Amino acid sequence: MKSTTRTVSPHKQVALVAHDHCKSELLRWVKEHRDALAHHQLFATGTTGNILSRETGLSITSLMSGPMGGDQQLGAMICEKKIDVLVFFWDPLSAVPHDPDVKALLRIAAVWNIPVAINRASANYLITSPMMTHEIDIEVPDYDKYLSERL
């Protein structure tokens, strides 16, 4: 598929997700980077978003819980260019019932070329990158061209 360029604003739309065993670690990370995150629009799956908002005072739009469709909601938002960065603290040692949704979310993030952090180290790299506070251009699939060629 051909690609096109998408300009991402300095004020990113950041999705925050954590599996049950990783919620406390994500909460700790969000508290450590609260000031930086406050400059961005934050989204999260249901339980995670409610915990983070309550514990940090940050404004976070909470979607459905992951197993109830929240991962898929985030995937749709990525396709609609409404999510610029995904921070997903997942537990690679525990199977979850909605594992296919998790894989689909990560696949969509890769398709739409958005930065993804899957643990504390990669999240630290992302949040401290100058790209988090500057306008950047990223290559994304040229879906309009793809669609026009198919019709």
Catalytic residues: 71
Q: How many CB atoms lie within 10 A of CB 13?
A: 19
Burial of 143 (0-12, 13-18, 19+ CB in 10 A): middle
DSSP code string of 59-116: -EEE-S-GGGTHHHHHHHHHHTT--SEEEEE--TTS--TTHHHHHHHHHHHHHTT--E
Buried b or exposed e, range 82-91, using 16+ CB within 10 angstroms: ebbbbbbbbe
Alpha carbons within 13 A on the beta-carbon side of 107: 7
Distance of alpha carbon 10 from alpha carbon 19, whole angstroms: 28
